[in-house]
């Protein structure tokens, strides 16, 4: 239905964009090792499934997300380095072919993906930003435990780098009128 409004290449570009946003967000802050990487990948898969339910009354979004869910978000060909540069192209494609509400829903899906990935990584051990352990491997998990206890009821920790990344994505997607920027 809506897919026919796009070339095969453009449709594939749209389908992979939310995953690329998630991979980009994951790459913004390295650290936390395999545990953080697995948590972020799981969050990316989960948010795609939740988006399908959240926007099930929007035909275009439902069709797009169904295909996004069927593709792997682990695709190496999905270059996440140009996510911000590709935003204008994505917006132009959408604005030319779908209703404004669907354009806004797509923007919100991308922001939901970015936020879910940012919130997914568990607290990193103090000094544990060395991906392979070693001398900066932390205090045996004491820091994550204390950190999560001190934040009780305030949700997961999102680093300043990730907050800035989400704010930059809001600007790139021209979503200032539908999303609130994070305090950094």
Tens of pLDDT along 88-130? 999 999 999 999 999 999 999 999 989 888 888 655 444 444 3
- The Cα-based distances of 13 to 9, 16, 81 in angstroms read 6, 5, 14
What distances in angstroms separate CA 160 from CA 18, 63, 102, 172, one per listed residue? 22, 34, 30, 18
What residues does each domain of the chain span?
A: 3-122+154-172
Spatial distance between the Cα atoms of 15 and 8, rounded to a whole number of angstroms: 10
Which tokens sit at 150? 């001190």
DSSP 138-163: -STTHHHHHHHHHTTTS-----HHHH
- 83-97 and 8-28 helices cross at what angle (nearest 10)? 140
What H or E segment, with its residue span, contains residue 104? helix 100-120
Mind listing the pLDDT tens digit for each residue in 30-50?
A: 665 566 677 777 777 788 778
Query: pTM score, two decimals?
Result: 0.77
Per-residue pLDDT, averaged over 4-26, amounts to: 89
């Amino acid at each position: 239905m809506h897919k026919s409004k796009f070339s095969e290449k453009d449709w594939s570009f749209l389908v992979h964009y939310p995953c690329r946003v998630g991979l980009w967000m994951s790459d913004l802050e390295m650290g936390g090792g395999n545990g953080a990487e697995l948590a972020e990948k799981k969050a990316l898969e989960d948010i795609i499934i939740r988006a399908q339910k959240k926007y099930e009354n929007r035909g275009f979004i439902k069709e797009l997300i169904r295909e996004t869910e069927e593709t792997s978000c682990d695709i190496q060909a999905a270059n996440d380095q140009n996510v911000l540069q590709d935003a204008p192209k994505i917006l132009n494609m959408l604005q030319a072919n779908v209703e404004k509400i669907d354009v806004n829903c797509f923007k919100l899906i991308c922001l939901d993906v970015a936020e879910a990935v940012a919130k997914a990584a568990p607290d990193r051990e103090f000094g544990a930003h060395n991906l392979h352990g070693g001398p900066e491997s932390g205090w045996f998990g004491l820091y994550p435990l204390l950190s999560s206890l001190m934040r009780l009821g305030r949700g997961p920790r999102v680093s300043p780098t990730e907050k800035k990344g989400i704010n930059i994505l809001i600007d790139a997607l021209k979503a200032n009128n539908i999303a609130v920027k994070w305090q950094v």
